[in-house]
Amino acid sequence: MIVTTQKPLDEILDSISPYSNILIAGCDGCTQPPRGLREAKTLSQLLELGGRLRDKNFIFKVITVVKQCDSFLAA
Proportion of the chain above pLDDT 90, given as a percent: 55
pLDDT of residue 46: 97
Instruction: Give the pLDDT confidence of 23-59 residue by residue, as tens digits.
Output: 998 888 776 655 788 889 999 999 999 999 999 999 9
CA–CA–CA angle 66, 72, 75 (5° rounding): 90
Domain ranges of the chain: 9-69
DSSP 48: H
pLDDT of residue 67: 72
Phi, psi values for residue 52, rounded to 5°: -60, -40
Other CB atoms within a 10 A radius of the CB of residue 43 amount to 19
pTM attached to this predicted model: 0.79
